[in-house]
Amino acid sequence: MYNVNVVSVNTVNNAIKSKTRFTKAGILQGKKGGQKKAYVTVAKGETIDFYASI
């Protein structure tokens, strides 16, 4: 897709955060969804041009 050579891929799962709001009706509690991120290492000297298709 980007025409680069991938050396490695590392993934990270970010924790779910709990949120609390104080309102007239009382305390509302909920959770903010977690995220999964991927860190991609490309070969030395190569870059990904994100703005090439704009």
- Sequence ranges of the domains in the chain: 1-54
d(CA 21, CA 24): 10
Query: pLDDT of 2-52, one tens digit each?
Result: 889 999 999 999 989 999 999 999 999 999 888 999 999 999 999 988 887
What's the whole-model pTM score? Answer: 0.61
Predicted pLDDT of residue 2 = 82
| Degrees, nearest 5: CA angle 50-45-11 | 60
What does the block give as tokens for 38?
A: 């991927």
d(CA 29, CA 45): 48
Predicted pLDDT of residue 22 = 94
